[in-house]
Amino acid sequence: MTPTARATKEKDAVATREVKIVNRLGLHARPAMQFVETANRFLCHVTVHKGKQKVCGKSLMEMMMLAATAGTVLRLEAEGEDAAKCLEALARLVNEKFHED
Amino acid sequence: MHLMDFIRTEAILPDLKATTARGAVEEMVAALVKAKAVAADQHRKVVEAILRREKKGTTGFGNGVAIPHAKHAGVKGVVGIVALSRAGIEFAALDSQPVHLFFLLLSNPDQPEEHLKAMEHIFRSIKNDPLRRFMCQSSSQEELVDLLREADETLK
């Protein structure tokens, strides 16, 4: 994660945002993969909180452990130069129901 | 929910004979038919649904594990099976490695939350390196059942 570490060092921007899972099937494998792929296009660290549970938004395995059903509210936290842009893209993906439904 | 709640232990296949992705899916669904989890006349339909899902994006998530799945109205909640391939099967995995350990899942289309919970438990168990390795090295149904039980007890 050297590029990420570098980005954080350059500018410690932090962004947070709440999103609600709105597609009927919830965050199943394909949406989770889209989420992780999107997150990985950015340099910032991405943490996803579901209640007390906290996982890395760039790891498919961890995202699948959220079992986020329709209606679940997730708190996204990004840290790094492109944090705001990253959360913007992730929130759009979630709000657009991962292009399903 | 526990792994043991949806995995049909009597259908576990510790030594897949298949050498292709389609063959592996057919063999696993056949085991579910034998365990009466799937009606015999639904075998083909279920196999095709699973293969169609794979085309949309592989469920070979890496580390030698794949979780092929499909919706199937004929099941209540979620039904699953575990299968091992000693030789490994080419499954278009994300890390391009052959798949040795399969968790195949069928979920009722009207109960998406049950599917998510089942996936959560599977990912929890395969994320645990020693457990995943032990599962991949199992040589019998009994050993796999013991490991699944252990996963249920320790990974809460």
Find all residues with CB under 8 Å of A78, minimum gap 6, and list them.
Answer: A14, A15, A16, A42, A44, A45, A46, A47, A57, A84, A86, A87
CB of A1 less than 8 A from some CB of B: no
Q: Give residue ranges of B with CB < 8 Å to any A CB.
A: 56-57, 59, 61, 67, 69, 112-113, 115-117, 119-120, 123-124, 126-127
Residue B32's pLDDT is what?
Answer: 97
Domains and CATH numbers, chain A: 2-99 (3.30.1340.10)
Provide the CATH topology of domain B3-154.
Mannitol-specific EII; Chain A (3.40.930)
What pLDDT is recorded for position A100?
85
- Asked if A21 is an interface residue toward chain B (Cβ–Cβ < 8 A), one would say no
Active site residue B69: yes
Measure the CA–CA gap between A80 and A78, rounded to whole angstroms. Answer: 7
Instruction: Give, for all 156 residues of chain B, the pLDDT tens digit.
Output: 899 999 999 999 999 999 999 999 999 999 999 999 999 999 999 999 999 999 999 999 999 999 999 999 999 999 999 999 999 999 999 999 999 999 999 999 999 999 999 999 999 999 999 999 999 999 999 999 999 999 999 887
Q: Where are the domains of chain B?
A: 3-154
pLDDT per residue as tens digits for the range B74-117: 999 999 999 999 999 999 999 999 999 999 999 999 999 999 99
Specify the pLDDT at position B45.
Answer: 97
Could you read off the pLDDT of A37-57 as tens digits, one per residue? 999 999 999 999 999 999 999
Grade residue A2 by pLDDT with cuts at 50, 70 and 90. low
> What are B60's two structure tokens?
């070979």
CA distance B18 to chain A (A): 25
A75 touches A16 (CB < 8 A): yes
Residue A42 in tokens: 């950015």
pTM for the model: 0.90
